[in-house]
Structure 1
């Protein structure tokens, strides 16, 4: 059964795409998202790639000598920035464009919209054609929620730095977790792109 708010999520995403199509020759359409932390284990010290309180299958008479991955000293945060190829028709697929993947140290490079905007600025200034319109679509997490003052200030800085005429920042923030996955996952384009990272990093840890 669909949640009562799922219609509004779909409608807003449709309006968002329609606006991008209308001004496609002057618009950057950007999808942003951060993937879950990727744990970094110590050399020669294995780490269990499981969540807390989950069971691990091992062979008989073998000692389980790995650490809980929640106690690693550091981790990486992969960030996805997708510059979408805007189509002429809303019925087409928006899951195409230039994908940029960056890695941040979770300890010294905490995720924030100001950091996201700095990374995005570095990407956009190297694109040959400049656009006066910028449209951002995010998952509405704490570092993207438009109701926060620090988020609004970061967007204003981006507006001034790129000398924009128009900026739209849409975030899908849902108070009810019951509609997060089923009803909005298909609206989060950057989440679909993160499947590539899931294939390349099959477990939530890596080596130094």
Structure 2
């Protein structure tokens, strides 16, 4: 009987030790790193796209904090939600703070989103929000630089013809043009405000 109890106790201790090891391995595993910060030191960089007033580069906004979102104007839900969050965050900034911030909306749907359409659409969210797009080559370069993704999804039974699946992050770029944060979809305006003010 005593031997059976000792054996059970040893098995229990061994099981607990194994479980503890699994928990520790999980906690220190790279897979448990924050998903909204995907190797930021390797992402970001300058880009050049088209706005309603002509060619625009990220370099044009040096000495400003850039708040950037990548999507498209025909997006039914994710884009309007994220742009509304950006708008609410910008409205919490005072005049001096807002003067140092440039919000951007980058469209990955240049066939439907002309610079003029983007300018009109962006004004629904905030007067400072600038809409930019470009050739597929330029868009793909930016998307790759910032660790984003998009793909065209055909919709045969829809008048729209196609939709665009895409990642949904709010990117914060510091005054030196370096990517500082990539906030996941669902971030609240207060969080965006906090991150912007940390870069001012």
What's the TM-score bracket when you normalise by the shorter of the two chains? 0.3 to 0.5
Normalising by structure 1, report the TM-score.
0.32
Using structure 2 for the length normalisation, give the TM-score. 0.33
Larger radius of gyration: 2
Greater share of residues in helix: 2
